[in-house]
């Protein structure tokens, strides 16, 4: 391809889209399982080894190599299916999905076709205090591909690269692909529903402990299908599929963007090309990928080298007993335990912070303090750097440590913000940052008393007002003392000292 003169796509105002069209959503999420070994061989399935060191004849697709199904991966697939209220197949097979890709050594992906392990489920998603039932069409087992690395060129993408290298370590890592039925009737909430679905699905995967579930590391990858139909027509329009969107926030933005882009094309009398799209995090737009018709022929056929998977009902029942608490029940229970209002709970869930607050509380933090830090300081910083708060790099345990320092009187809320700055800058633990930055509050009564005396001497008029009973005037003196102490004093104690002297 020559240098691209990519033209910005025309967009229609979001409200105008809704006046003329009904959006339909569909989400396909790939979950990389955290099994010790790969889907069909004994190679380690861990992240980040030297390229091509975790491979064998089977996952390299060498002639004569025979695959064997990973029992643990089947177990995880069944548990995910059950948690999504799916039926579990009594008998199902793997199938070969044939296509060429340089990072796919066998030239086919071992997947499942018309016989998925789990099907016909649902998940209830909370969006702005409303429950939306998302129907799950299927959850099937398959294997991941390897990774291409494009060398040279500015973007790391294939265009403009000098050459490409392939790392097959990831080839054969177990994946579960979870596919929704079309989500219709969402209207203006379509972008939020997409985000909430992926966020709650991630919470569920985390609770099941079947994946690391890090979107930024590609353990959980969302493909977002979107189409528009004329308002009230009740049909489904032509869809586009935006691939590998890698944060909750981006899922929401990609849906919104595609709605606005589709509407502009349809308004102009054009038609939507059924294709895959790439999401660009930096510019917030999608660009054309490859054309993809429903008739794409992958020449699927049952995998002849693997026996069918026929999980016994006893095993399925046993696995049902290992499921975590139903997420909706759990939310209700924890809201009561934490004493959150409906609005506080909604904001927590909506911000993708529910699991983080839960873990922070488990680490010993008061629930309201946990909510406050995640939804104010940390949400703001995540927003500024364009990442999900879960990917900010501050752990729930660390947030609990910061709050413990506040409660011990070592720092106050204002100083805690500087501790968060230090944490994001990688300056060490909260205690180390307090020490290194000299943030500890002055608790020496002599020093505090001297600062109070100085403030009184510097502000005789204010002091007189307080002596005359105007206690509200104390704020000015407290402010002067806090300034003198560079914020490193307990304002409550300063107030006591002021009133003691003038009361």
Q: Is 177 in the site for Mn ion (CB under 5 A)?
A: yes
- Binds 177: which of Zn ion, Mn ion, none (CB < 5-8 Å by kind): Mn ion
Please say which residue, 59 or 207, places its beta carbon nearer to Zn ion.
59
Q: Report in angstroms how near the CB of residue 168 gets to Zn ion at its nearest.
A: 9
Query: Residue from 17, 27, 29, 43 that binds Zn ion (CB under 5 A)?
Result: 43
Dmax (CA) for the chain in angstroms is 96
Please say which residue, 177 or 484, places its beta carbon nearer to Mn ion.
177
Supply angle C-alpha 204, 208, 214, rounded to 5.
Answer: 65
Please say which residue, 62 or 336, places its beta carbon nearer to Zn ion.
62
Q: Is 56 in the site for Zn ion (CB under 5 A)?
A: yes
Please say which residue, 177 or 401, places its beta carbon nearer to Mn ion.
177
What would the two tokens of residue 42 be?
A: 């004994």
By beta-carbon distance, which residue lies closest to Mn ion?
177
Nearest to 134 by CA among 88, 87, 184: 184
Q: Is 258 in the site for Mn ion (CB under 5 A)?
A: no
Nearest to 127 by CA among 187, 44, 178: 187
3-state secondary structure of 88: strand
Q: Is 22 in the site for Mn ion (CB under 5 A)?
A: no
Q: Residue holding tokens 């104390």?
A: 474
For Zn ion, which stretch binds (CB under 5 A), given 25-33, 58-66, 132-140, 382-390? Answer: 58-66
- Binds 56: which of Mn ion, Zn ion, none (CB < 5-8 Å by kind): Zn ion
- Binds 392: which of Zn ion, Mn ion, none (CB < 5-8 Å by kind): none
DSSP E strands in 50-168: the ranges are 87-88, 95-98, 108-111, 118-127, 130-143, 147-151, 163-167
Q: Report in angstroms how near the CB of residue 183 gets to Zn ion at its nearest.
A: 37
DSSP 282-340: TTTEEEEEEE--TT-----EE-TTSPPB---HHHHHHHHTTPPPPHHHHHHHHHHHHT-
Query: Residue from 25, 29, 59, 498 that binds Zn ion (CB under 5 A)?
Result: 59
Q: Is 210 in the site for Zn ion (CB under 5 A)?
A: no
Q: Residue holding tokens 């490409």?
A: 164
Burial of 200 (0-12, 13-18, 19+ CB in 10 A): buried
For Mn ion, which stretch binds (CB under 5 A), given 77-85, 174-182, 198-206, 459-467? Answer: 174-182
Q: Is 223 in the site for Mn ion (CB under 5 A)?
A: no
Which residues bind to Zn ion, rule: CB under 5 A?
A: 41, 43, 56, 58-59
């Amino acid at each position: 391809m020559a240098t691209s003169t990519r033209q910005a796509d025309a967009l229609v105002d979001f409200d105008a889209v809704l006046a003329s069209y009904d959006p339909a959503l569909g989400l396909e999420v790939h979950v990389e399982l955290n099994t010790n070994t790969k889907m069909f061989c004994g190679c380690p399935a861990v992240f980040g080894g030297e390229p091509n060191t975790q491979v064998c004849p089977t996952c390299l697709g060498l002639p004569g190599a025979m695959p064997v199904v990973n029992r643990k991966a089947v177990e995880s697939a069944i548990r995910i299916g059950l948690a999504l209220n799916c039926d579990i197949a009594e008998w199902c097979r793997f199938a070969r999905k044939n296509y060429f890709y340089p990072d796919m050594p066998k030239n086919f992906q071992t997947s499942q076709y018309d016989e998925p392990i789990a099907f016909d489920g649902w998940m209830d998603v909370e969006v702005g205090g409303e429950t939306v039932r998302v129907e799950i069409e299927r959850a099937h087992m398959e294997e991941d591909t390897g990774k291409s690395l494009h060398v040279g060129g500015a973007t790391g993408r294939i265009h403009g690269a000098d050459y490409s290298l392939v790392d097959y370590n990831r080839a054969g890592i177990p994946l579960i692909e979870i596919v929704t039925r079309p989500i219709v009737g969402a209207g203006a909430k379509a972008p939020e529903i997409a985000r909430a679905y992926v966020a709650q699905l991630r919470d569920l995967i985390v609770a099941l402990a079947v994946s690391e579930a890090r979107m930024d590391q590609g353990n959980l990858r969302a493909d977002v299908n979107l189409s528009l139909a004329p308002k009230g027509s009740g049909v489904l329009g032509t869809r586009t599929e935006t691939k590998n969107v890698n944060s909750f926030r981006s899922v929401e933005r990609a849906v919104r963007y595609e709605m606005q882009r589709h509407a502009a094309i349809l308004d102009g009398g054009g038609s939507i090309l059924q294709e895959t799209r790439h999401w660009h995090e930096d510019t917030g737009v999608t660009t054309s990928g490859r054309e993809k018709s429903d008739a794409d022929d992958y020449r699927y056929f049952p995998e002849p080298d693997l026996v069918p998977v026929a999980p016994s009902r006893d095993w399925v029942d046993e696995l049902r007993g290992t499921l975590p608490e139903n997420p909706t029940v759990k939310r209700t229970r924890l809201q009561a335990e934490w004493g959150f209002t409906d609005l506080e709970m909604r904001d927590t869930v909506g911000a993708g912070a529910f699991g983080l607050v839960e873990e922070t509380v488990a680490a010993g933090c008061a629930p309201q303090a946990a909510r406050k830090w995640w939804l104010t300081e940390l949400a703001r910083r995540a927003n500024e750097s364009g990442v999900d708060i879960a990917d900010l790099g501050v752990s729930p345990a660390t947030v609990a440590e910061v709050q413990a320092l506040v409660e011990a009187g070592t720092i106050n809320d204002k100083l805690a913000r500087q501790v968060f700055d230090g944490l994001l800058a990688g300056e060490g633990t909260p205690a180390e940052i307090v020490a290194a930055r000299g943030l500890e509050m002055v608790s020496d009564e002599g020093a505090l008393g001297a600062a109070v005396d100085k403030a009184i001497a510097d502000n005789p008029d204010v002091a007189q007002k307080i002596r005359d009973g105007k206690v509200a005037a104390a704020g000015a003196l407290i402010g002067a003392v806090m300034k003198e102490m560079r914020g490193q004093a307990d304002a409550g104690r300063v107030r006591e000292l002021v009133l003691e002297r003038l009361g």
